[in-house]
Structure formats: C-alpha cells, structure tokens
Chain A
C-alpha cells in the first residue's frame, strides 16, 4: 500500500470513497470501480490478501491447545467468545481484541467484529436467501415502524445480478415467499435428511424442507474453485470456494485499475459542506500512526457494518447536523435489530445404521417460514415468522463425553465408531424494529484513538418471546412426526442475546419520509444525497432470513444509481 498521507488535496481526491471492505464495501468497491470511478476503499484493520489465511489447512494437532486458546489469550476476547465458536484457535485471529475495542451495554449485546480487509465476509455463515414482498410489505400492512420504500420488483434484478457473481448454490422451489434465484447446482442432503424431509412433507401438508442456499460454489466460477467439502470456511478458503470480498469483489475491483485500498484507516467522520448541501469527504485516523488525514470524493459509500456506519454518521456532527449527519428524523441509532435464534429441537434416529456420508458439507437444510403467510397460517400470538436451519449427522467422540462413568476399552471403541444418526435444527426468527432498541455514542468511554465508543440498549420483546414458544414447539412437533426418538426441545434465550446472531440491522433505516427515516429508496441519506449507506444499517425490517445477500443486491443497485446520478450532474 502506497503511503498516501501528507499528500495535498488533489492527491487525496477520488471519485468515490467506500468505508469498509466487508460484504457491502467489497460490492461497492467492485461496482464503482468497474463503472469507471476512481475509488478509494478505507478499511480500519490490517490488509488480508486472498490466500493469506494462516489456519486454512491447520489440523487440530497443529494447534498448541488443540481446540482451545490459552487462558491469557481468551481474556482479551471475552465478548467475542460469546457465540461459542468465534474464539476457537482456528478463527480467533479474525475477531477483535475486546480490551482494545471496548463498548458498553445497558443490556447484554454481543458485538462480533472483524477488523481486517474483507471484514466479516471472511467469517459469515454464507446462507443466502431473498426477501420477498411478504417482507417488504409487512411493516405497512401491520402498521409497524415505517414502510420499506422499495418492493421485491425493485430489487429482484439486483438479486439476480448479485447471485450470478457471488455464486449461490441451491434448489428451485417455486415458493412465493422465498423467491428462487440464479442458483448453482444444489448440495446434496444425506440419508436421514432426505427421510426427515419426506416425512415432514407427508405430515404437514407438503411443508418443504430444502437444502440450504449457500454462497459456496458447486461449480467453478470466475476462476474460483468449487467447494472441497472441508467445512473450514471460517478460517478463510484458499480455493476461494465461498464468497468473500477477498476472493471475489476486491480482485474484480483491482482488475479495473481504478481501485485503491488503504488499510489501517479508521473513518472518524464524514465531512459535510452546508453551502453545497453535500458531503465533501471523510476524516480518518491512521490506526498505526494516529495521524488525521482527509480524503475527498464526489460520492461516499458507508459500508462499515450497521453499528460502525451509524457510529460514523452520529460522530459526524456539524452546525447543520448537531445530532449526527442525516439525523433530521432522530431515528439514527434506533430500530436496532438482529435475528433471535438458539431455539429448536433435536432427536436421534434408529435407522440408517449401515449408512454414512463422505465429505464435510458446509451447509445444512432449511425449512422456510410457514407461519403468517396467509389467512390459513395466521397466528394470533405473534407477528411475522421464522425458518429453521439444521442438519443430520452421526454422533461422534465430541458429543459422547457426557456419559460420565463409561470409560475403558469399550468406551474408546464406542467413540471411534460413528454413533447413531442425530437430526438437529434451530429457528432463526424475525425481530421487529422497535424505536426503543438503540445504540448511542458514549463520550465518557474513549477508544485508544480518543474516539467515543458505543453503548447498546436493546432487548427482545413480547413478539419475539411469543414466537420462540412456537419455534421450539413446532420443531419438536416436526421431529416427532419424522419418527425421531428422544426428541428434545431447547431454548437458550440467554445466549440468543441481541447481536449474537451477528445480523445487526436497522439503525439508519430506509423510508419514504425524511421525517421518520435516514435513507431514501436508493440508500441515499435524505439530506446528504451523495452519502449512501448500504450495509445492515439501511434495513427497515429484518425478515427471518439471513440478510447478507440483500446487502449485496442493495449495494449494487445503489452504486448503479450513484453513477447514473453523477453522469446526470445531480451529485
């Protein structure tokens, strides 16, 4: 990376600035640079080139503590550890040091962050589903929060566009509320999954169970290899077989010759010129030297993640925007959402004892939402719905430690051989956008660069709790109908704290009215139209499906609009 600091205004001027290099930022970088804009991507963390994934091929015996980090290391990531999987030695280096990056909690909020080029696109769960008009119309029909300013028809071609480039494997199902996409061949279900699928369809009037739609390639695409079935995605994939900024969008951007990426660049604020009614650039702090530098551009894409983009807008105070850039509505920081989950059921099968599988599939099954779709499926106890993600496998040594007094040669033999088949699934539920769920700036607690930090005040409410009862009961009901034994429901509501699902959304929402929303239908800040926010902050509601594919589509759509408006001289 060339050292840009100290250069004059002209050298620090680009056509476009993109804040963040994760899923949304990578897409903005690709789209804007491919459309001919000289584009600067500012990433607060270190650089990670595709392939620089230090644990990608490390075996368990090559980690000093096998499955654990030393106690002294874990102490630096106590909040990052709350998911139960992030601080494994294979992936802990992708998550922040909580001591250096503090935040505050009025109520528990699990904020998982990856500060490096690629951001959480290296770490994501890769499940990729489209929203439908069931989702886009829900707020308006139910009088909840504000209406989305777009409908499915507005985003459908951009889903097509995003899927073709990202590479999403999946099956065509013709479900109106879970629209089909431009899919690569679906992954395969295993024996028990196929059996459970058949039995659920028989018992529940054709209720579908499908293979997960996942951003793992099942055919090579643009020089990226197909999935090798190692199930080590979170470490970074040397084959580029799942979609990440590092493997896909950033290389496409670099190929244009128009893209510059500056790591260690913490965007402190967006600079606004009240006479022009436009933002003129950003002010950054160099994370290594603490130097403050300004960069200028005609358009600015904030893609730093929901919380970080909101922080930047809030911290961008000026005479015109005393409460944060674009915060005329007072909604900035409010309506914080995540999905609630860690509730479902599991059971054991006494069949297929002579069957097994080959390969570690980085994907599971999906049972699309089946509640509140129409009159027949309407619930009186809650709004919206949920979908299940799950899988079948055979019990192995890792799940057999609990039988305390069983040990010795027979115990060892039992652990070496595959145990019975087990099917487990958990629900991902929609959370409503509540004005009361919010984040605020905390000037009393500063980070190591002297910036204010964030305080969360967010919790589930009656609708989510009522939904969880059904999420558990319906899982038990389906698995019992599927003939499984020892079916056990679970509801780990404590560890399904907001943030734990890592789908933060809604804190700079899109809307039709500048009085009640921050962004317009093109993701432009109402009162600063050359600032676009296309990460999770823009979401007006959460739906029950994983959101990243929607960020990709919205980002590509917003980039197209930005360039079109630039050409017309409107920005």
Chain B
C-alpha cells in the first residue's frame, strides 16, 4: 500500500502533480474494485487550477488602500521572506482582505478595522508617517507594543491579525506544497521514523 505515497518517490520540495493525487485515488479504487463517482474525480481535476489564482493580488477588494498597505506591512513583519517564502510571497494580504470583508463576524471585523486605525495613529504620533512608511525596526517596535498590550486579553486586534497572517500563510498552496511536507494520500502510518527522513518540517494538513 505504501506505493501510494508521493514522498517515497519524490523530493520533498517538489510540487505533487495533480495526476499523483488523481492517479492514487483511481489506482486504489481500481485495485479494490471500489466505484468512485466520476463527479469526484472531476472535482479533483477542477479544483486544481482555481487554486493557482491565489497569487500576488495587490489590490484590496474590501479594505481601503491605506488599510491594505498597513496589513501588508504587518504580515511582512510577522512572516518575512527568508530562505523560505514570506507572507507577501503567498498572497497573505489578499487573504486578510477577503477575511475581513466576508468571513469575520461583525465584532471581529470591527476590532481589526479599529486596530488598524490605532496603529496608524500611533505611527503618526511617534514618527509623523504612516505605518507602511516606517522602517522595519520602527514597525517591529510598534507591533511589540501592540502585542504587549494584548497580553492576558482575548481576540484583540493583534491576536486576530497574527492569526490571520499565520493561517493565511500555512494554508496557502505554495507553503503547503513547497515549504511543508505535502502528502495528501500517505497510504500508511509509521508511528516512529527519524525526523531526518522528512527534513525537519511539519506535514501539510
């Protein structure tokens, strides 16, 4: 059964091609004589190209340009580009824009919008410039102040913006397929393997 595992034949960093997933399902189904509905396989195929649209959308749909600029700067400081892609490389600002516009409840949305306004106000008071125009060190200092003020509280602006950034990053296609270990059909379970075998990164969930 372990022949279904893409990891056994592919280097960790490569994208698992669409056919691997489809073939793995079809193969398992064929071997065992299970009927898989055509709509399911079609769904697998069609789901893929849509995902590629999660790219570097640079214009906000729901946030103002100013808010989007600040969100982008915050996401970049929380998860900057290093030897791995950063939040900006995987479309996190566009994700946050969508979340604030359509997915957050009214209360959370208000907290995020108010938090962005407060951050801009603090930035103006301290440096006479918008948050996005500050140096990285100045941005970090303001974010640390915001984080410290949030300690012991729940669902503050900083909690939410950090959560949205982390979720947006780690659930993105690029991170899921090239940074973490992507193995959608493991086909087996090994309870205790050397970490070195999988190169010290988490599985994609």
Binding site for B on A (CB under 8 A): 49-54, 56-62, 64-72, 74, 187-191, 193-194, 220, 223-226, 228-230, 238-240, 352-361, 394, 396-398, 400-401, 404-405, 407-409, 411-413, 415-418
Contact = CB atoms under 8 A, between A and B. Distances in A.
A416 B179 CA distance: 8
Contacts of B37: 49-52
Contacts of B51: 59, 61-62
Interface string B24-54: 0100110111111101100110010011001
5 contacts: A49-B37, A57-B43, A354-B195, A358-B190, A404-B162
Contacts of A415: 166, 170, 202
A224 B189 contact: no
A353 B78 CA distance: 26
Interface residues of B, number: 83
Given A59-B51, A356-B195, A404 B186 contact: no
A49 B176 CA distance: 31
Contacts of A404: 147-148, 150-151, 158-159, 162
B186 A359 contact: yes
Given A57-B43, A405-B148, A228 B192 contact: no
B104 interface: yes
B176 A61 contact: yes
A74 B105 contact: yes
Interface string B180-205: 10011111111111111110111111
B167 A238 contact: no
Contact of A408 (B80, B184, B196, B204): B80
Contacts of B196: 354
Contacts of A356: 193-195, 197-198
B198 to A, nearest CB: 6
B173 A61 contact: yes
B73 interface: no
Given A61-B172, A228-B186, A407 B162 contact: yes
Interface in B51-81: 51, 54, 77-80
B148 A355 contact: no
A408 B165 CA distance: 12
Given A62-B51, A404-B148, A415-B202, 14 more contacts: A51-B36, A52-B39, A58-B47, A59-B176, A59-B184, A59-B204, A65-B99, A228-B187, A238-B29, A407-B162, A412-B84, A412-B169, A416-B202, A417-B201
A416 B83 CA distance: 12
Contact of A355 (B158, B159, B194, B202): B194
A4 B52 CA distance: 46
In this complex, the member of B159, B180, B186 whose beta carbon has the largest number of chain A beta carbons within 10 angstroms is B186
Given A355-B193, A407-B162, A56 B40 contact: yes
Contact of B25 (A52, A61, A69, A238): A238
B170 A408 contact: no
Main secondary structure of the interface of B (DSSP, over half): helix
A66 B167 contact: yes
B36 to A, nearest CB: 5
A357 B191 contact: yes
A189 B150 CA distance: 39
B137 to A, nearest CB: 11
B186 A358 contact: yes
Contacts of A394: 202
Contact of A361 (B25, B105, B172, B189): B189
B131 interface: no
Contact of B40 (A57, A72, A397): A57
A230 B80 contact: no
B105 A59 contact: no
B99 A68 contact: yes
Contact of B191 (A68, A194, A220, A401): A194
Contacts of B188: 229, 358-359
B9 interface: no
B143 interface: yes
B1 interface: yes
B32 A357 contact: no
B98 A230 contact: no
Contacts of B40: 51-53, 56-57, 238
Given A54-B43, A59-B176, A404-B147, A360 B29 contact: no
Interface in B88-117: 95, 98-99, 102-106, 109
B135 interface: no
Contacts of A225: 28-29, 31-32, 34
A62 B50 CA distance: 7
A224 B31 CA distance: 10
Given A239-B28, A239-B34, A61 B54 contact: yes
A359 B34 CA distance: 22
Contact of A224 (B32, B86, B200, B205): B32
Contacts of B166: 397, 400-401, 415
Nearest to B151: A404
A248 to B, nearest CB: 11
Contacts of A49: 37
A516 to B, nearest CB: 47
B163 interface: yes
Nearest to A59: B176
B101 to A, nearest CB: 9
In this complex, the member of B150, B166, B191 whose beta carbon has the largest number of chain A beta carbons within 10 angstroms is B191
Contact of B34 (A53, A240, A411, A416): A240
Contact of B143 (A191, A353, A407, A409): A407
Contacts of B187: 228-229, 359
A70 B103 contact: yes
A412 B147 CA distance: 17
Given A62-B47, A69-B103, A416 B201 contact: yes
B133 interface: no
